[in-house]
Amino acid sequence: MQDDRVKVYSYNRRRIKYIFVMVCIAATVIIGRLAYIMVLKAKYYSERADNLHERERSIKAPRGRIYDRNGNILADNRAVCSVSVIHSQIEDEEAVIDLLEKYLDKSPEEIRKKVTKVSSREIIAVNVSEETGDMIRAAALPGIKVDEDYKRNYPYDELASKMLGFTGADNQGILGLEVSYDSVLTGVPGSINAVTDARGIELAEYAETRNDPIPGDDLVTTIDINIQKYATQAAYKVMTEKNANRVCVLVMNPQNGEIYAMVDAPEYNLNKPFELINDGEKSAESTENGIEKDTDARKEEANDQASGNIHTVMSQMDKLNNMWRNYLISDTYEPGSTAKMITLTAALETGAVDKSNSFYCPGYRIVEDRRIRCSKTTGHGSQTLEQALMNSCNPAFMDIGERTGVDGLYEYYHKLGLFDRCGIDLPGEANSIMHKKENVGPVELATISFGQSFQVTPIQFMSAVASVINGGYSITPHIGQKVMDSETGETSVLGFEEKKQVISENTSLQMREMLEKVVAEGGGSKCAIEGYRIGGKTATSEKLPRGTGRYISSFIGFAPADNPVVMAAVLIDEPEGTYYGGTIAAPVVRDIFLNILPYLGIDKVSNEY
């Protein structure tokens, strides 16, 4: 019996020791864990604890400004406010609803729904004027927050709209330069932090803390606001006179690709980008809140679809997309007779022709089963190479194209960039539409030679012509010039692809001389200005399908002809009445040059041509 008691006692002692050891181990682990949390991780958990009792509201950063080359502001920011409510802090819902209904242009149902919603924060309105924000703030009703905000502002409204583009309610770039340089222009948001209790109520003894936003960097462009105005006036003048669908103008430095002006009329109001132009009613998306309301409109689309009105909404969006579209970048066209500059360049480079050659034009040329006529149906007769260009003679250029051959033409189409996007710093650039080389037969070769049966973008073709006249160097058309740091003020110049020689200087010289004769004595004479040496080429291209009587009239001019520092292209889409490029497009470039040549410091010469 005693032995049994001894055994039990011994067993209990071992068990107690075991439990004691386990308790000690557990205590050591717990103490170690507490030490780890309270010492090594004290800062981390302290921040997490603070976060549980902090409420953060974001502050938008001012977007970087956009300037023209002379320091004129093209895009700026206007100070506005955003109004929100924090449900847990509201003491009198009806008073809050009544106040917001009084000052905000929102439906009572929408305001009530957001005020009564149990959430951490509900945004009631953005882009509220400072005056209205101050009145709401002065009421000092608990639960309402009025924070600073910024809305993009464009001082010149419609000017350069297709090039500049616009932003949405979140200040993010949507179109044009605003989206191309969005990463440059976008700043770093700030925040306002308030300390709250477990219920989310702000504690009065703790002041709000603020982290200031960092503004975005500024963009300086190559655009000259004065040249942009001259070009815009000229575009609208001819568009009105000829009742044209649109008129595009591009003014550029052919030596380095800097764009001075870009017009695609009709332009739209950048401060009201969702309001249709030339339309009796505003679009469903037309609001002060920009893209935020566009999001609302998307919800409405779903409702409209249910009610059978989806086609109306889609039609409205199609109109907006067409209004925003930059034809110079995103659309293609047949260049017509201006392409004869490229054909002749290729022929001179390959040695297929020279200035001593002559060509005979009976008024047409028969190619396989096709009778392809000249613009002068009675024919030009015998003419020199220079005269063929001055007369813009189709049969002569069919002969030139035939002598050059498909391989020769396509080689220089490639070298001059007509098979590739030119890389302009704008979104949505399209590419050319060309025949595959193996599919180019005699008829295709003939029509390509005088500018039909292929399509290019206006900016792409302008870039190719610049290489023809600038000494033979490739260029990259661009609008961005430099970026200014918002904090340091330091500037950094934007880089683009380096120039390279694509045709010989001698060919470029010959082309400039012959194109000067086109303006002095040929089809481009309506661009001539006394005392200035100007070169250029006209075009009148019929739109597809043929036979509908719809044309694009165009002219590309440059000055001074011996050393071009400025070139301008004008495209007139579907003019009424007279539609020849030499008659209606060349005078538009002349009007522009009359204003900008003296402005650019280009002096007249004493001798004429």
Phi, psi of 497 (to 5 degrees): -55, 135
Distance from C-alpha of 595 to C-alpha of 274, rounded to nearest angstrom? 33
Strands 259-265 and 358-361 come out as: unpaired
DSSP 478-499: B-EEEEE-TTT--EEE---PPP
Task: State the DSSP H helix or E strand holding residue 572, giving kind and residue range, or none if neither.
Answer: strand 566-573
**From its phi and psi, is residue 415 left (phi > 0), alpha (psi between -120 and 50) or beta?**
alpha
Distance from C-alpha of 462 to C-alpha of 451, rounded to nearest angstrom? 14
Written in H, E and C, the secondary structure of 266-292 is: CCCCCCCCCCCCCCCCCCCCCCCCCHH
Other Cβ atoms within 10 Å of 203 Cβ, number: 11
Nearest to 162, CA basis, from 11, 263, 294: 263
Three-state secondary structure call for residue 325: coil
Q: Running DSSP on this structure, what letter comes out for residue 450?
A: T
The identity of residue 491, as a single letter, is T
Q: Catalytic pick from 82, 161, 330, 337?
A: 337
525 a catalytic residue = no
For 452, the token pair is 């039909």
Answer for the pair 273, 257: CB distance below 8 angstroms, yes or no.
no
Cα 177 to Cα 67, 70, 162, 221, 554: the distances in Å are 11, 18, 9, 10, 26
Beta bridge partners of 188: 214
Cα end-to-end distance, the chain, whole Å: 138
Strands 73-85 and 370-373 come out as: unpaired
Distance from C-alpha of 152 to C-alpha of 170, rounded to nearest angstrom? 10
Other Cβ atoms within 10 Å of 44 Cβ, number: 10
Three-state secondary structure call for residue 173: strand
In 435-585, where does DSSP find H-type helix? 442-449, 458-469, 505-521
Beta bridge partners of 556: 537, 569
Question: Residue 171, Cα to own-chain centre: how many angstroms?
Answer: 15
Answer for the pair 576, 563: CB distance below 8 angstroms, yes or no.
no
Largest Cα–Cα distance in the chain? 143
- CA 546, 550, 552 angle in degrees (round to 5)? 105
Answer for the pair 539, 555: CB distance below 8 angstroms, yes or no.
yes
Distance from C-alpha of 317 to C-alpha of 321, rounded to nearest angstrom? 6
Cα 576 to Cα 241, 245, 550, 580, 585: the distances in Å are 9, 10, 9, 11, 13
Nearest to 279, CA basis, from 265, 294, 268, 290: 268
Active-site residue list: 337
